[in-house]
Amino acid sequence: MKKRLFLILLFPLIVFSQNQIQGLVTDSSTKKPLPFASIITNTNIGTLTDIDGKFQIKSNIEFNKIKVSYVGYKNITIPINSSDKYIKIALEPATEFLNEILITATENPALQIIRNTIINKDKNNIETSLNSFKFDAYTKLLVTAHPDSINGKIDSVYIIKNGDKQFLKIDSTNYKFKKEIDKQHLYISEKVSQFQFQKGKKTKEIIMASRMAGLQQPIYELLAITFQDFSFYNEFYTIAGTKYINPIADNALKHYDYKILDTVKTDYSQSILVYFKPKIKKDFTGIEGVLYIDSQNFSITKGMAELKAIVNVKATQNYTFIKECNCWFPSDMNIVIKKGDNNENVNLFGGMVKVSNSEKNDSIVKTTTNGPSDVSYFISKTENSNIQINPELKVKNSASTIKFNDDAGKKSEEFWNLYRTDSLTDRGKTTYINLDSIAKSENIEGKIALGRNLLKGYLHTKYINLNLGKIINLNNYEGLRVGFGGVTNQNFSSKFKIESYIAYGTKDKDFKYSIGTATRLNKESNTWFGVNFTNDLKEAAALDFIAENTSFSPINPRNLNIDKFYNYKTVSTYFEHDIKPNLEAKLQISSGDYSPVFNYQFINASKNISRYRLTTASVNLQYSPKSEFMNSPIGKLTIKNEFPQLTLQLTKSIENLFQSDFDFTQVNLRILHKIKPLRKGVTHILAEGGIVFGDAPISHLYNATPNYTYKSPWFKRITFAGKNSFETMGYNEFVSDRFFAIHLKQSFEPLKLSNKFKPQISIATRAAIGTIDHPEYHQGLLFKSMNKGYIESGMEINSLLKGFGFSAFYRYGAYANPTWTDNLAVKLTYKLRLGF
């Protein structure tokens, strides 16, 4: 009886061992691994090799042969014995290649399969075929290396001098790395999310749990990075945050070549394996890989895509069949980034990370070839569960694309174990413990908070974020303006804030200041109510929006030549609310005194004043239809800054209300757009303008943002170029109560003249038109009407030396000056580079 029980328990293990095999497929001559090679058993169960040429087959059905095929190589069939656990397979190159195969008497059959897949995209894409769905997702991110992938011996480093190899030093890098990687990963993070989808609305992610090694508070922006798309049906497929033309995009056949590799039988259907590869085009960067396509309905059942460069990026996505909807639903996906085999440069994460081949020092010789950078890799794995098809749910348009629950960073181990698809290993646990200790001792979270706020122009302290833009400024009226200011942060309160600043001008010898407070009424809709009092200066006749920070920036050199200002002392109350995350509204009611600080008088039949009082009500709308946002514990964060971006503002000045002197209505508009073709230059388009109905003083007119001074001698006119300003237009040369301007700029890809010298050329044209009904009402200011249309064109060459460059613009058309040098503006430019 005991013997029979032993055999019963042993039988499943025997069966299992007979029906699984692991192996490696390589090139017979180069010995390099072959990714995406097709492995099919004699029982028609199949798989593909991974990025390292490795494969594993597990089956409930016994098999004794496998067929191995790969594009450009001879097929081979190998017998499998019950004792075989791991085999190495070397394929011999064939004489046929993909491009040659496509030139046949009849059309390549893969093309019709791809056409059918494209035609049936809407039917097979769950985001267009289903009304709603939701599921949970567990994501684990690792930066790691396999302990056996590196030799832990201490290396000897030599240097070659005059043809002789001389000992330089002992290098223990590999030894230390081996000891570390045996115990832990280099980095680890985990996330549990619930995804909700409703047709016609953006998919919403609710982050229920998050854990990043070394951090009590995660880097929220990293949680929003798209490592790879949820669906393989988008026109552009995202890998490592960068978009590539999808091999089943509507125009994909213009960009890719295809070949049928094999067929694989699944539990529900048969899938055709179609290999895709970019056509050879200099202006197109594509991905290569394999699509598993259902032979009946042409839906994708699995996708593999790879980018080969100085780093190798491979994304894999598996689908599971859902009987309820007769559809294939994404079940898991993973992406691996590791060192590549060639020297081709690549941009990752939309160009935020640029990986290029560094110059190698051939005079340095090591006894070992592989180091930590050669064997380390990044991997992100996501597995979906609790999939619900067409549930009753309502995704609010007013909700952010990503919501981070307040308790997501405080979940218990029991919660994590409910969602982990595999248990946390000892290496993973050690990684958390060690990195948490290191981060605490080195105050990593404090440094991250410092960096995040520096990008926004603030210096982070425990309770206050100091506004760096308030410390020092220069302009022609105040001279050197020094000050101090800031706003309370989340450590002070997440529901209440105080914002204030004070500044002093060394030339006008006067103080300016502001103090305000606000309280948050609703976190979900980012609703705030606040009041403030301000005594400060603004540029006369500037296009002004209440939702923008209009204070002077120290990195905008245009301020140096502005001399026409007005002082305003106002009390304001405001209400901010997100109608949608990408549609922000601000209502402001303001009343106070305005005093131009230059010789100015407004004179008409009923008024003769130089100082005046205004009571205004303004509504400002900011709309970014393609941008996405996260609702995080530290507030609303922009996770995808897309274009176009529109700002519309309506201001009404009410005469006699709180002794207001004017009655007018002002409408301001700004549209900013960028066109960014894949891996090409960027086209910038800015359209802006405004119109005033009724009689308005100089503070609410328009000067079209000039940036030219007629100083003599001519070299004194060489200053810094402004941002979206007319470089050849004199200050206050034109003033309008109705104007429109358009700025067109084409920035080309940087010229890679060397690893460090990469100048960038841009060409630009700017045009404006405007008019004013009663210029005689505005005394003390000499200006012209712009009703004939103003135009200038020029070129910028940036990043010539440590961020500095120069630009040259020429003024022509109806307002060209008689002397050609008065039409020419040569300016210095500067682009701030943060190094990432």
Domain boundary among 41, 69, 96: 96
Q: Say if residue 406 is exposed, middle or buried (CB neighbours under 10 Å; 0-12, 13-18, 19+).
A: exposed
SS3 category, 418: helix
Q: What is the pTM of this model?
A: 0.79
Average pLDDT over residues 686-709: 96
Q: Is 106 within the bounds of a domain?
A: no
Q: How many domains does the chain have?
A: 4
435 with 453, same domain?
A: no
Give the single-character DSSP code of 443.
T
Task: Quote the pLDDT of residue 552.
Answer: 42
More confidently predicted of 217 and 590 = 590
Give CA–CA dist 797/805, Å, rounded.
6
Say yes or no: 432 and 463 in one domain.
no
Q: Is residue 101 part of a domain?
A: no
How big is the CA angle at 441 (ends 439 and 442), to the nearest 5 degrees? 65
Nearest-angstrom CA–CA distance, 602 and 735 = 14
**AA letter at 795:** M
Do the domain assignments include residue 105?
Answer: no
Assess whether 815 and 772 both reside in one domain. yes
Q: What is the pLDDT of residue 224?
A: 81
Average pLDDT over residues 423-438: 90
Question: Which of residues 733 and 633 earns the better pLDDT score?
Answer: 733
Torsion of CA 649, 655, 660, 663, to 10 degrees: 50
Same structural domain, 567 and 487: yes
Q: Pairing mode, if any, of strands 804-812 and 65-69?
A: unpaired
Residues 391, 269 share a domain? yes
Q: Which ranges of 340-408 would DSSP assign to H, the alpha helix?
A: 372-375
**pLDDT on residue 346:** 58
Task: Specify which residues 589 forms β-bridges with.
Answer: 573, 617
Residue 273 and residue 292 in contact, taking contact as beta carbons nearer than 8 Å: yes
Mean pLDDT value across residues 402-427: 89
- Going 46 to 47 to 53 to 58, the CA torsion angle's sign is negative
Work out the pLDDT band at 152, boundaries 50, 70, 90: low
Start-to-end CA distance of the chain, whole Å, equals 70
pLDDT tops 50 at residue 148: yes
pLDDT tens string 531-590: 999 999 999 999 999 987 544 454 566 777 788 999 999 999 999 999 988 999 999 999
Distance (Å, whole) CA 482 – CA 456? 20
Query: Cα-flanking dihedrals φ and ψ of residue 182, to 5°?
Result: -65, -30
User: Given the DSSP bridges, would you call strands 402-404 and 628-632 parallel, antiparallel or unpaired?
Assistant: parallel
pLDDT at 611: 96
Residue of 239, 351, 225, 243 lying closest to 637 (CA atoms): 225
d(C-alpha 708, C-alpha 730), whole Å: 5
Residues across the chain:
836
Strand (E) or helix (H) holding 535: strand 527-539
State pLDDT tens for residues 289-299.
Answer: 899 999 989 99
Contacts of 336 (CB under 8 A, 6+ apart): 51, 312, 313, 314, 377, 378, 379
Burial class (CB in 10 A: 0-12, 13-18, 19+), 61: exposed
Q: Given the DSSP bridges, would you call strands 76-79 and 86-91 parallel, antiparallel or unpaired?
A: unpaired
Q: What would the mean pLDDT of 13-22 be, rounded to a whole number?
A: 54
CB-CB contact of 472 with 448 (8 Å): no
Domain of residue 80, residue span: 2-96
CB 736 within 8 A of CB 752: no
Between CA 223 and CA 233, with CA 228 as vertex, the angle to 5 degrees is 130
What is the rounded distance in angstroms from the CA atom of residue 544 to the CA atom of residue 590? Answer: 14
In a domain, 496, yes or no: yes
- The CATH code of the domain that includes 90 is 2.60.40.1120
Average pLDDT on 741-757 reads: 88
Q: Which two tokens stand for residue 777?
A: 């009402």
> Can the peptide bond before residue 713 be classed as cis, meaning omega within 30 degrees of 0?
yes
Over residues 455-473, the pLDDT tens digits come to 778 888 889 999 988 888 8
219: in domain: yes
Distance CA 700, CA 534 (A): 18
Q: What percentage of the chain reaches a pLDDT higher than 70? A: 87
At 545 the pLDDT is: 95
CA distance to 593, 615, 654, 656, per residue, from 661 (Å):
10, 8, 8, 6
Give the pLDDT score at 179: 81
Predicted confidence band at 83 (pLDDT cuts at 50, 70, 90)? confident
Are 308 and 380 part of one and the same domain? Answer: yes
In terms of average pLDDT, the best of 45-59, 334-348, 726-740 is 726-740
Tell me whether residue 339 is exposed, middle or buried, using C-beta atoms within 10 angstroms of its C-beta: 0 to 12, 13 to 18, 19 or more: middle
614 vs 302, 371, 538, 549, CA distance in Å? 65, 69, 15, 21
pLDDT digits (tens, 9 = 90+) for 581-630: 899 999 999 999 999 999 999 999 999 999 999 999 999 999 999 898 88
Q: What percent of the chain has pLDDT over 90?
A: 49
Helix (H, G, I), strand (E, B) or coil at 520: strand
Q: Where are the beta strands (DSSP E) in 343-478?
A: 346-348, 353-355, 364-366, 377-389, 402-404, 458-460, 464-467, 472-475
Residue 677 lies in a domain: no
- Given phi > 0 = left and psi -120 to 50 = alpha, else beta, which region is 771? beta
**Angstrom distance (rounded) from CA 667 to CA 362:** 65
Spatial CA neighbour of 317 closest among 336, 304, 307: 304
Mean pLDDT for 438-459 is: 82
Token pair 């809709």 is found at 525
Q: Would 108 be classed as within a structural domain?
A: no
Say whether both 400 and 470 belong to one domain. Answer: no
Among the candidates 42, 61, 96, a domain finishes at 96
Q: What is the mean pLDDT of the chain?
A: 85
Measured torsion, CA atoms of residues 276, 280, 285, 290, in degrees rounded to the nearest 10: 10
3-class secondary-structure state, position 523 = coil
What pLDDT shows up at residue 710? Answer: 87
Judgement on whether residues 421 and 531 belong to the same structural domain of the protein: no
- Residues 76 and 118 occupy one common structural domain: no
Q: How far is CA 361 from CA 159, 366, 368, in A?
A: 10, 11, 15
The more confident residue out of 707 and 159 is 707
pLDDT of 643 > 90? The answer is yes
Domain boundary among 626, 659, 692: 659
Q: Is the pLDDT of residue 168 over 90?
A: no
pLDDT on residue 310: 76
Say which range, 157-161, 287-291, 672-676, 678-682, has the weakest mean pLDDT: 157-161
| Identity of the amino acid at 193 | S
Within this chain, do residues 83 and 126 fall inside the same structural domain, yes or no?
no
User: Does residue 468 share a domain with residue 498?
Assistant: yes
247 with 226, same domain?
yes
Cβ atoms 435, 214 nearer than 8 A: yes
In a domain, 570, yes or no: yes
- 62-78 confidence digits (pLDDT tens): 888 898 987 678 889 99
Q: Would the pLDDT of 158 be above 70?
A: no
